[in-house]
Amino acid sequence: MENVFLLVALIATFAVIHLTQAEDHQEGFISLDCGLAPSEASPYIEPDTGLWFSSDSDFIQSGKIGKIDPSLPKTIKSYVTLRYFPDGIRNCYNLSVKQGTNYLMRFTALYGNYDGLNITPKFDVYIGPNFWVTIDLENRISGQSEEIIYIPRSSSLDLCLVKTGQTTPMVTSVELRPVPNEIYITESGSLKSFKRYYLTSSDIILSYPNDVKDRIWEPKFDPEWTQISTTLEANNSNGFLVPQNVLKTAAIPAYAVARFNITEELDFPDDQIYLYLHFSEVQSLPITESREFDIIWNGQHFDKTISPEYLKTTTIYSTTPVTCKGGVCNLELIRTTNSTLPPLLNAIELYTVVKFPQLETNENDVGAIRKIKAIYGLNRITWQGDPCVPQKFVWDNLNCNSTDTSTPPRITYLNLSSNGLEGTIATAIQNLTHLEKLDLSNNNLTGDVPEFLANVKSLMLINLSRNNLIGFIPQALLDREKEGLQLFVDGEHRCLSGSCVTEDKIPVKTVALVSSATVMVIIVVLVLIFVFKKKILSSSEGILLPPPSIKLGANVTSTDVSEISIEMKRKKFTYSEVMKITKNLARSLGEGGFGVVYHGDINGSQQVAVKLLSQSSTQGYKEFKAEVELLLRVHHINLVSLVGYCDERGHLALIYEYMSNGDLKHHLSGKHDSSVLKWSTRLQIAIDAALGLEYLHIGCRPPMVHRDVKSTNILLDEGFTAKLADFGLSRSFQLGGEYHVSTVVAGTPGYLDPECYITGRLTELSDVYSFGIVLLEIITNQDVFDQTREKSHIAEWTAFMLNRGDIAGIMDPNLNGDYNSHSAWRALELAMLCANPSSEKRPSMFQVVIELKECLTSEISMKGNGQNMDSQSSPKVSMSYDTKDLPSAR
């Protein structure tokens, strides 16, 4: 019985030793069984290779699990599951690696008809921001496996699957194996495996554990060769660690006097090639025999004549890359005159050079933004891979200075507005040391405004409004304001809550004195108000009264005169002056809800547009008053300026600066006698209009809502600078606490925020919705309502076209494809975000301005670089819209 126990103990001991040795050999290995659920046995030992595999779920945040059809032929490893990515364009694994370590990376994709559709996928794989390889599984029933030898530039490695067509990217396994840094050295770039085989008549594919670095060696043999072999092991300690089973066999020419020749044809003729040849003499040669030969690679002699040593590995490799003429590479081994035996070869490796020119985003910035992502739980599908590059995959709500490929990009703009953020302001933000603009508005952030924000010296704008922050603004930030920092917060006097009130006790005597003084002040003020009111009632000069012909609304009565006065004598014109300015209403420019607009000039030097109130106008004195009062206190290059007004015996007129190029709608319609608006011009017009709205929302105190943003209210001057007009429906809205006022529904059907019909609430996001409709007009040149379309409303129609995949049919055909597709689709996506039926999902005008400027920059830079303008070559835009919530025709 004791012997049985002893035997069991010995077996267990040997098993542990074997397991420990296997783990030692696999140190630094990353082996991911993609799609393996964490609840299943993970990690596990793959039975054929002895490799430890684990689930990939901890290394990627997206994708779905599929099961390979078990009836398909078996491959090198026993693949059962896979991960596929139906959502998003780029999905990335993030792996922890040792910076500066040489890794052999292997990506394997076996379709296995997991979805039952028998449609094999085609997609691209990127390492970080750089393209590596295209996976095309057509006619590859056993899958496609790609290898590369790569040195990571940081401790974090992104491996990304990128959708390039209609099929769905997928992956079966991802493997990383560290290899010695002193081998596989290149002048530049990385080494993509092209061929690796050993010369044998066997059909056995060798990998781990035969190769401790898990390189895969395929067998290769030619009828013109003869195999020679040994059962003894060779010394393979030259650094390349070629497997013993590879070194035990070799090939020689079948005819002793013949040359040994191997030819390979490249997939891409212009590829540069590195060659590695492994030799080991497998025969113990008599003293009278010798084996010596020259190596000729693409017609060029290697410097050294080779005479392989018995059972000792020699590796000959190229130190500089070469190209093969016509993509055909040729290797010859030629026996020297001193040799009695033909040349031999044990194994060969061929690698093509892959250049990775784009540097990853600065490692500190990447670490900071990923920490911010984790703190706030921002699991966005677009927030994968490198944050800044390539530019077409920049994370949503980020901007970077990524134009120079020779330096790592830096994050310059972070917009997390309206993302439901909770907790305090993340300290990781201070690690974004090149950040210029930070928008954390409209969230649920709590706590103090941190002083560390003042330490980010590049910051020029911080928006913290509409949160639950408390306390005073740190003095360091106030000092930065004096240096030009724009700081947006809630509260008065830079105090964010009642917690700012000092709790120092005030002496009773001081309180009594202050109370007595206050009473005296109140009495004096009341007396002054009484006297002043009597004077006002005794004289009507300087007061703008409602004309007799216009009825006062329910909330404007004859006792409200003092409330509706407008102090503006210097801009008040008489009706006779208006007639003189317009030459007795000689030239009509158009007609709106207020009345007819006429051309005029003042003293023959200043052209103006004069809007006269018609008796049948749907707008009245209330709107007239609102527009005059607003234009008196707002001044912005993208708002039409008021030259003056007329209020005389029932005659109401508004006199504006003249906009010689009319309104945007007129230009888009093609009725104007000018050429079609270029795409870059349209983007600039959109930016101008957005800047005007941004000023009303942020620059005014109190902020203003336009309420009637539409293409006919966007006017163009002689240089096509766009300016907002028609402020008769504008209203102030409150900042802090409540962010809206209740109001009657007003505006233009089709442009009007659908939420207004339900809630009656007025917010700046109502203007954002209307602007989104205007932006759709700019992009598509479609009417806002068209009953002949399958979907009558422009937003509903655009969503319908996008869901059908008919993106090309959305763009204005008058552009004739003369636009950069990336900027066009970016603008389209922005327009649909603005026109979202839910106001919570709309961006602010501040965000809209930033995004539109990026679109224009992209358009200009791409055209300047001579990029392809064909809209059909555009990156695919993955957008899906639920049209049931979009506005219907009214």
Residue 478 CB neighbour total at 10 angstroms: 14
Q: pLDDT value at position 230? A: 97
- Give the HSE-up count for residue 569: Cα atoms under 13 Å, Cβ half-sphere: 4
Q: Which helix (H) or strand (E) holds 664?
A: helix 664-668
Contact (Cβ atoms closer than 8 angstroms) between residue 578 and residue 602: no
In this prediction, residues 420-431 reach a mean pLDDT of 95
Give the CATH number, domain containing residue 846: 1.10.510.10
Contact (Cβ atoms closer than 8 angstroms) between residue 659 and residue 589: no
Last residue of a domain, one of 499, 515, 545: 499
Last residue of a domain, one of 150, 178, 206: 178
pLDDT of 498 over the 50 cut:
no
pLDDT above 70 coverage of the chain, percent: 80
Between 44-58, 67-81, 716-730, the lowest mean confidence (pLDDT) is in 67-81
Contact (Cβ atoms closer than 8 angstroms) between residue 284 and residue 336: no
User: Residue 222: phi, psi to the nearest 5?
Assistant: -125, 145
ω into 813 cis (within 30 of 0)? no
Q: Counting beta carbons within 10 angstroms of the beta carbon of residue 711, is it exposed (0 to 12), middle (13 to 18) or buried (19 or more)?
A: buried
ω into 875 cis (within 30 of 0)? no
Quick: pLDDT tens for 161-190.
999 999 999 999 999 999 999 999 999 899
User: Residue 830: phi, psi to the nearest 5?
Assistant: -65, -45
Same domain, 707 and 647: no
Same domain, 744 and 845: yes
Distance (Å, whole) CA 814 – CA 668: 10
Same domain, 436 and 338: no
User: Residue 125: phi, psi to the nearest 5?
Assistant: -120, 130
The answer to whether 611 is annotated as binding is yes
Tell me if 439 is assigned to some domain.
yes
3-class secondary structure, 198 = strand
Active site amino acids: 708
Residue type, 796: E
Q: Which helix (H) or strand (E) holds 529?
A: helix 508-538
Q: pLDDT value at position 634? A: 76
Angle subtended at Cα 360 by Cα 359 and Cα 361, rounded to the nearest 5 degrees: 120
Distance (Å, whole) CA 144 – CA 158: 20
Q: pLDDT value at position 557? A: 31
The closest alpha carbon to 187, from 370, 91, 318, 69, belongs to: 318
Tell me if 306 is assigned to some domain.
yes
Q: Which helix (H) or strand (E) holds 400?
A: strand 398-400
Tell me if 9 is assigned to some domain.
no
| Residue 99 confidence class, pLDDT cut points 50, 70, 90 | very high
Q: What is the mean pLDDT of the chain?
A: 83
HEC secondary structure over 425-437? CCHHHHHCCCCCE
Same domain, 60 and 166: yes
Tell me if 522 is assigned to some domain.
no
pLDDT of 417 over the 70 cut:
yes
Distance (Å, whole) CA 839 – CA 829: 16
Give the CATH number, domain containing residue 580: 3.30.200.20
DSSP notation for 758-774: HH-EE-HHHHHHHHHHH
Q: Which helix (H) or strand (E) holds 322?
A: strand 322-323
In this prediction, residues 85-107 reach a mean pLDDT of 95
Q: Which helix (H) or strand (E) holds 742?
A: strand 741-742
Quick: pLDDT tens for 452-484.
999 999 999 999 988 999 989 999 999 998 888
Quick: pLDDT tens for 752-805.
988 876 776 778 899 999 999 999 999 999 999 988 888 899 999 999 888 876
Residue 363 CB neighbour total at 10 angstroms: 14
Last residue of a domain, one of 657, 674, 697: 657
Same domain, 207 and 302: yes
Residue type, 814: N
Same domain, 845 and 735: yes
In this prediction, residues 391-400 reach a mean pLDDT of 89
Same domain, 136 and 208: no
Same domain, 491 and 572: no
Contact (Cβ atoms closer than 8 angstroms) between residue 342 and residue 302: no
In this prediction, residues 24-48 reach a mean pLDDT of 88
Tell me if 507 is assigned to some domain.
no
Q: In terms of residue numbers, what domain contains 570? A: 564-657
Distance (Å, whole) CA 744 – CA 205: 78
Q: Which residue has the higher pLDDT, 422 or 502?
A: 422
Q: Which helix (H) or strand (E) holds 581?
A: helix 575-581
Q: Give, to the nearest 10 degrees, the angle between helix 764-780 and helix 821-834.
A: 140
Tell me if 556 is assigned to some domain.
no
Quick: pLDDT tens for 840-875.
889 999 999 999 998 988 888 766 655 544 433 333
Alpha helices by DSSP H, listed for 740-872, are 754-759, 764-780, 794-804, 821-834, 845-864
Give the N- to C-terminal CA distance of the chain in Å, as an integer.
93
Give the CATH number, domain containing residue 203: 2.60.120
Residue type, 822: H
In this prediction, residues 715-728 reach a mean pLDDT of 88
Give the position of tokens 């994050």.
411
Which residues is 37 bridged to in the sheet?
none
Give the CATH number, domain containing residue 100: 2.60.120.430
Q: pLDDT value at position 669? A: 74
Edge to edge, what strands does the sheet with 64-67 contain? 64-67, 81-84, 170-171
Same domain, 262 and 323: yes
pLDDT of 263 over the 90 cut:
yes
Distance (Å, whole) CA 166 – CA 53: 31
Tell me if 535 is assigned to some domain.
no
Same domain, 149 and 55: yes
Quick: pLDDT tens for 308-343.
999 999 999 999 999 999 999 999 999 999 999 999
Quick: pLDDT tens for 112-154.
999 999 999 999 999 999 999 999 999 898 899 999 999 999 9
Between 1-5, 289-293, 598-602, 858-862, the lowest mean confidence (pLDDT) is in 1-5
Distance (Å, whole) CA 328 – CA 717: 63
Give the CATH number, domain containing residue 412: 3.80.10.10
User: Which distant-in-sequence residues (6+ apart) come within 8 Å of 604 by Cβ?
Assistant: none
Same domain, 600 and 708: no
pLDDT of 193 over the 60 cut:
yes
Tell me if 555 is assigned to some domain.
no
The closest alpha carbon to 434, from 377, 366, 495, belongs to: 366
Split into its structural domains, the chain has a count of 5
In this prediction, residues 617-639 reach a mean pLDDT of 73
Distance (Å, whole) CA 779 – CA 781: 6
Alpha helices by DSSP H, listed for 258-362, are none
Same domain, 617 and 681: no
Q: In the structure encoding, which two tokens stand for residue 492, read together?
A: 């008065």
Instruction: Determine how β-strand 572-573 pairs with β-strand 642-648.
Output: parallel
